[in-house]
């Protein structure tokens, strides 16, 4: 019975998401709004398909937020933080501070206690990373000034969640209701000891991440099983959540830290793409359950109050951001966009509200109203942005001279991605790198990745045939993809995937022999390189020299041979299905080549036709 | 004893009897360095720094090449373009070749008569070689009349021997010239 119920629930959730999200996307409102509305629709107050378990589900779905923080941590390489330090600390820090102060003052005015006011300030100053990053990515604005400013602020907020979670117990009003998780091992300890335990756990995670996880993943990777690697990625996130939960700290803090520690490891992209689908689904579930647990009657009974609070929050946050935008000299159009984009309250507020309920910071009624307000502020974001884009943004855009920022806030943005760093990819990589070309390298051999890492190559572990992995390695910014995988089937799978998703990207590919080259040509590639061809001809040239041919003559002979071989390749390609014609043409072309080369080196009198034409590998 | 650098530029040396004969005539001496540049740079990627170092170590720079289309073979032009750098060979502070001798040893298919006002080509060798002369002058080098071996297609065995001795004496003279 329970199982049937579970699957029925899953069906309802998935169906509603599948219906609502595409509609929201089509309307330009973004998927988050779709999830929220879907949640409301299936919730107890509209159709009532789901309901009682909404709150429990929310706890489970919070795991999506935890995973999001892990993914954000993974993207946080120290040099990115360093590059963004000015905006991160300046814009992000001031935004958080000013919004918190204003909300604090307002709440005091509404007769909240100073502790609740401060907590509310912190909660409302956060914006929704999920909504804003999703919107920026969907609209291709990540690289714009507003995109970078937004990213910096969100990053700062996400990091600030961690100290905020630590501060919250201090804001407790004393009448602490026992946490509904109730598993915390440190509840009985006095506050300072709790802090010490937390500190130990955090340091432990950093040390383990630094010195234990990479070798461990390397070992798992060597097993060559992708499922196990995905399992290990999930296990890591879950294990940290449990560990953190057991010492009474947020799971988000732990996974975020683990992410940061792993950001510089070679497994970064593989972890990211493993977590990605789970993260996406769980975040969707999270927003669904927020929608489902939204108390519609409460909203309906106090419409003016709630609408007032929602727009009050949006207005306040937008004004603070706008002022900071002026202070940091953002162009007006970009500044307005950023201010509106970040004006909602973020998903962490749900987590924090839940947490503060347990701590007795707010009473239940207040939380119900505030949660509804937060959800509404999220729902309004895409609508506001759409309105803004259709009116002011377009007008301003046409007036202002186009300014492209040259600063970049992306992960890997190299123009070249090399898939497969074996004997072939390795040489290509070294050549390009010595010419100052930025390359991102992916390889599925854990030993090799580790070894190359020691040589100072930045090689990421992962299966390059997976488009998500390529994307997290920066495929959309790449100009050239070098396909140099050893296995012909893998190589073809990679090329098929990339051609399908990015038809305009330049693909240059390694082929083992003529047959493989034909297959790649059949897939529509025009840059195909038989890996042994050049080397073999070079070897032949050196043999000519050893036998007394002068260098320049040998050089000419090599070039003539290669040019002729290229031409023959294309001619033979057309005939490869017809063996009889193929062999006849191959023989004919070979004797032509012999004649040509004998004439070139002045040995036409020594020419014996048809002597070795049969040797060509068919 | 002055040091001589012979820079040989011949894409098809194996086919040129005249040039091989000339090389065979070069006296064995520690003061002579012979470089076969088509052999050293078959794909035209010249090591400029090395070439410049060698130039600095020698007093006489002797280019041996066939006369192709009233000029030198392409690698020699490439060599001139890349090695004789501004600020090194000429221009401001470009004094590294100052007072070194520039000499060309040139083989031509056409006879001496063909390179005359009335001949087939209608101009003197001297006139065709003006760009090289001017190049040497720009580098403040001491341009010398070339050693010419002409009508190579018609040379007979005995004449080869005669020419060989003439070239050997020419080089020996260069070796002794600054000596006393």
- Is residue B57 within a helix (H) or strand (E), and if so which, with residue range? helix B48-57
pLDDT for the residue A160: 86
pLDDT for the residue A405: 34
- Please, what is the average pLDDT of chain B? 93
Count of C-beta atoms within a 10 Å radius of residue B167: 21
Q: Is A501 an 8 Å CB contact of chain B?
A: no
Distances from the Cα of A140 to the Cα of A148, A239, A329, angstroms: 12, 35, 22
d(CA A313, CA A371): 13
A337 Cα to chain B: minimum distance (Å): 55
Q: Is B40 an 8 Å CB contact of chain A?
A: yes
pLDDT for the residue A131: 81
Residue B60 backbone phi and psi in degrees, to 5? -115, 125
pLDDT tops 80 at residue A553 = yes
Q: How much of chain A exceeds pLDDT 70, in percent?
A: 87
B9 Cα to chain A: minimum distance (Å): 11
Q: Is B47 an 8 Å CB contact of chain A?
A: no
A226-246 and A214-222 are packed helices; what angle lies between their axes, rounded to 10 degrees? 150
Buried b (16+ CB within 10 A) or exposed e, A385-420: beebeeeebeebeeeeeeeeeeeebebbebebbbbb
d(CA B35, CA B24): 14
pLDDT tops 90 at residue B155 = no
For A328-346, write each residue's pLDDT tens digit: 888 888 888 889 889 999 8
pLDDT for the residue A399: 54
Distances from the Cα of A115 to the Cα of A157, A163, A362, angstroms: 20, 16, 10
pLDDT for the residue B129: 96
Burial (CB count within 10 angstroms: exposed 0-12, middle 13-18, buried 19+), residue A327: exposed
pLDDT tops 70 at residue A560 = yes
pLDDT for the residue A274: 84
> Which of A34, A507, A512 lies closest to A288, judged by CA?
A34
A550 Cα to chain B: minimum distance (Å): 6
Q: Which domains does chain B have, with CATH numbers?
A: 4-177 (3.40.50.360)
Q: Give the CA angle between residues B75, B81, B87 to the nearest 5°.
A: 150
Q: Using 50, 70 and 90 to split pLDDT, how confident is the model at A290?
A: confident
> Which of A536, A527, A530, A534 lies closest to A516, judged by CA?
A530
Whether residue B14 and residue A551 make contact (CB cut-off 8 A), yes or no, is no
Quickly list DSSP for A89-121. Answer: IIIIIHHHHHHHHHHHHHHHHTT--HHHHHHHH
pLDDT for the residue B55: 97
More confident residue, A81 or A367: A367
Contacts of A554 in chain B (CB under 8 A): 42
Q: Using 50, 70 and 90 to split pLDDT, how confident is the model at A1?
A: very low
Q: Identify the closest residue of chain B to A559 by CA–CA distance.
A: B43
pLDDT tops 60 at residue B180 = no
Residues B163, B155: contact at Cβ < 8 Å? Answer: yes
pLDDT tops 90 at residue A495 = yes
For A229-262, write each residue's pLDDT tens digit: 888 888 888 888 888 878 766 677 778 888 888 8
Mean pLDDT of A130-155: 79
For residue B147, give the 3-state DSSP assignment. Answer: strand
Token output for B119: 């001949």
Q: Using 50, 70 and 90 to split pLDDT, how confident is the model at B58?
A: very high
DSSP state, residue A410: -
Mean pLDDT of A491-517: 90
Q: Is A389 an 8 Å CB contact of chain B?
A: no
pLDDT tops 50 at residue A404 = no
**Poorest-pLDDT segment among A25-34, A383-392, B169-178:** A25-34
For A164-213, write each residue's pLDDT tens digit: 877 887 877 655 444 444 445 666 667 677 778 878 888 888 888 888 88
For B81-124, write each residue's pLDDT tens digit: 999 999 999 999 999 999 999 999 999 988 889 999 999 999 99
pLDDT tops 70 at residue A52 = no
**Poorest-pLDDT segment among A587-601, B75-89, B117-131:** A587-601
Whether residue A551 and residue B40 make contact (CB cut-off 8 A), yes or no, is yes
d(CA B137, CA B130): 10
Residues A419, A464: contact at Cβ < 8 Å? Answer: yes
- A501-509 — which CB contacts under 8 Å span 24+ positions? A501/A467, A502/A475, A502/A476, A505/A475, A505/A478, A505/A479, A505/A480, A505/A481, A506/A479, A506/A480, A506/A481, A507/A480, A507/A481, A507/A483, A508/A480, A508/A481, A508/A482, A508/A483, A509/A482, A509/A483, A509/A484
Q: How much of chain A exceeds pLDDT 90, in percent?
A: 15
pLDDT for the residue A458: 75
pLDDT for the residue A3: 60
pLDDT for the residue B158: 86
For residue A549, give the 3-state DSSP assignment. Answer: coil
More confident residue, A101 or A394: A101
Q: Is A553 an 8 Å CB contact of chain B?
A: yes
Count of C-beta atoms within a 10 Å radius of residue A170: 11
pLDDT for the residue B9: 97
Q: Using 50, 70 and 90 to split pLDDT, how confident is the model at A609?
A: very low
Whether residue A553 and residue B40 make contact (CB cut-off 8 A), yes or no, is no
A596 Cα to chain B: minimum distance (Å): 17
Burial (CB count within 10 angstroms: exposed 0-12, middle 13-18, buried 19+), residue A212: exposed
Q: What is the ipTM of this complex?
A: 0.80
Residues A412, A473: contact at Cβ < 8 Å? Answer: yes
Size of interface A-B (CB pairs under 8 A): 19
A602 Cα to chain B: minimum distance (Å): 8
Across the strands, what pairs with A511?
A530
pLDDT for the residue A602: 61
Task: Indicate the pTM of the whole model.
Answer: 0.61
pLDDT for the residue A269: 83
Q: Using 50, 70 and 90 to split pLDDT, how confident is the model at A597?
A: confident
pLDDT for the residue B127: 95
pLDDT for the residue A409: 32
Token output for B108: 């031509």
Contacts of B13 in chain A (CB under 8 A): 550
More confident residue, A400 or B72: B72
Residues A540, A565: contact at Cβ < 8 Å? Answer: no
Whether residue B43 and residue A555 make contact (CB cut-off 8 A), yes or no, is yes
Q: Tell which of A550, A556, A557, A562 to mutate to test the B interface (max B CBs under 10 Å).
A: A550
Q: Is B11 an 8 Å CB contact of chain A?
A: yes
Distances from the Cα of A148 to the Cα of A82, A137, A408, A418, A454, angstroms: 14, 12, 8, 28, 33
Q: Is A493 an 8 Å CB contact of chain B?
A: no
Whether residue A602 and residue B15 make contact (CB cut-off 8 A), yes or no, is yes
Mean pLDDT of A63-75: 81
pLDDT for the residue A56: 66
pLDDT for the residue A2: 55
Q: Tell which of B35, B39, B40, B41 to mutate to test the A interface (max A CBs under 10 Å).
A: B39
pLDDT tops 70 at residue A601 = no
> Which of A353, A349, A350 lies closest to A363, judged by CA?
A353
pLDDT tops 80 at residue A30 = no
pLDDT for the residue A444: 81
**Poorest-pLDDT segment among A170-184, A364-378, A385-399, A441-455:** A170-184
Mean pLDDT of A503-515: 90
């Amino acid at each position: 019975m329970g199982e049937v119920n579970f699957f029925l629930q899953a069906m309802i959730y998935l169906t509603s998401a599948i219906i609502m999200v595409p509609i929201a996307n089509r309307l330009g409102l973004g998927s988050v709004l779709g999830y929220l509305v879907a949640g409301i629709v299936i919730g107890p107050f509209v159709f009532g398909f789901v309901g009682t378990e909404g709150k429990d589900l929310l706890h489970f779905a919070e795991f999506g937020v935890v995973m999001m923080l892990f993914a954000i941590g993974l993207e946080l390489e120290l040099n990115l933080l360093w590059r963004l330090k000015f905006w991160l600390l300046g814009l992000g820090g001031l935004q958080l501070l000013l919004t918190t102060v204003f909300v604090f003052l307002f709440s005091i005015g509404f007769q909240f206690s100073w502790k609740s006011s401060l907590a509310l300030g912190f909660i409302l100053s956060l914006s929704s990373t999920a909504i804003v990053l999703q919107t920026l990515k969907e609209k291709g604005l990540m690289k714009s000034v507003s995109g970078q400013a937004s990213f910096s602020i969100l990053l700062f907020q996400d990091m600030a969640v961690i100290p905020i979670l630590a501060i919250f117990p201090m804001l407790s009003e004393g009448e602490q209701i026992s946490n509904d998780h109730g598993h915390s091992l440190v509840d009985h300890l006095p506050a300072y000891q709790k802090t010490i335990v937390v500190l130990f756990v955090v340091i432990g995670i950093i040390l383990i991440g630094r010195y234990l996880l990479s070798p461990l993943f390397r070992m798992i990777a060597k097993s060559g099983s992708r499922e196990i690697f995905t399992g290990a990625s999930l296990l890591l996130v879950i294990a940290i959540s449990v560990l953190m939960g057991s010492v009474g700290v947020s799971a988000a803090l732990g996974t975020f830290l683990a992410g940061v520690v792993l950001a510089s490891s070679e497994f970064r992209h593989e972890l990211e793409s493993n977590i990605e689908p789970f993260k996406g689904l769980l975040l969707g579930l999270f927003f669904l359950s927020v929608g489902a647990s939204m108390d519609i009657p409460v909203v309906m009974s106090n419409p003016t109050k709630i609408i007032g609070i929602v727009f009050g929050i949006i207005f306040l946050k937008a004004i603070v951001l706008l002022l900071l935008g002026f202070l940091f000299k953002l162009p007006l159009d970009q500044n307005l966009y950023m201010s509106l984009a970040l004006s909602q309250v973020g998903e962490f507020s749900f987590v924090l509200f839940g947490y503060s309920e347990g701590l007795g910071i707010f009473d239940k009624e207040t939380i119900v109203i505030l949660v509804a307000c937060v959800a509404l502020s999220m729902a309004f974001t895409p609508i506001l942005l759409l309105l803004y884009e259709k009116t002011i943004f377009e007008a301003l855009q046409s007036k202002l001279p186009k300014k492209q920022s040259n600063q970049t806030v992306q992960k890997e943005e190299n123009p070249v991605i090399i898939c497969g760093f074996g004997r072939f990819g390795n040489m290509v990589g070294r050549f390009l790198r010595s010419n100052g070309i930025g390359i991102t390298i992916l390889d599925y051999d854990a030993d090799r990745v580790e070894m190359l890492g020691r040589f100072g190559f930045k090689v990421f572990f992962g299966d390059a045939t997976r488009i998500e992995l390529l994307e997290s390695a920066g495929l959309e910014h790449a100009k050239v993809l070098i396909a140099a995988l050893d296995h012909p089937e893998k190589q073809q799978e990679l090329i098929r995937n990339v051609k399908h998703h990015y038809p305009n990207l330049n693909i240059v590919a390694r082929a083992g022999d003529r047959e493989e080259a034909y297959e790649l040509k059949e897939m529509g590639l025009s840059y195909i390189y038989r890996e042994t061809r050049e080397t073999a001809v070079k070897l032949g040239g050196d043999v000519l020299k050893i036998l007394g041919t002068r260098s320049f003559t040998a050089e000419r002979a090599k070039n003539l041979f290669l040019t002729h071989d290229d031409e023959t390749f294309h001619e033979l390609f057309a005939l490869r299905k017809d063996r009889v014609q193929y062999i006849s043409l191959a023989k004919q072309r070979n004797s032509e080549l012999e004649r040509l080369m004998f004439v070139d080196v002045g040995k036409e009198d020594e020419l014996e036709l048809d002597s070795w034409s049969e040797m060509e590998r068919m | 004893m002055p040091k001589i650098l012979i820079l040989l530029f011949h894409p098809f040396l194996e086919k040129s009897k005249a040039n091989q004969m000339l090389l065979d005539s070069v006296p064995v001496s520690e003061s002579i360095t012979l470089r076969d540049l088509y052999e050293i740079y078959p794909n035209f990627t010249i090591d400029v720094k090395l070439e410049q170092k060698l130039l600095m170590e020698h007093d006489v720079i002797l280019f041996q090449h066939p006369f192709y289309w009233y000029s030198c073979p392409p690698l020699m032009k490439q060599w001139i373009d890349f090695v004789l750098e501004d600020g090194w060979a000429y221009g401001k502070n470009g004094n590294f070749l100052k007072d070194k001798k520039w000499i060309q040893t040139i083989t031509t298919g056409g006879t001496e008569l063909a390179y005359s006002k009335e001949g087939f080509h209608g101009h003197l060798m001297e006139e065709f070689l003006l760009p090289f002369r001017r190049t040497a002058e720009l580098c403040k080098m001491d341009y010398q009349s070339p050693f010419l071996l002409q009508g190579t297609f018609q040379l007979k065995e005995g004449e080869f021997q005669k020419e060989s001795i003439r070239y050997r004496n020419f080089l020996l003279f260069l070796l002794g010239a600054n000596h006393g």
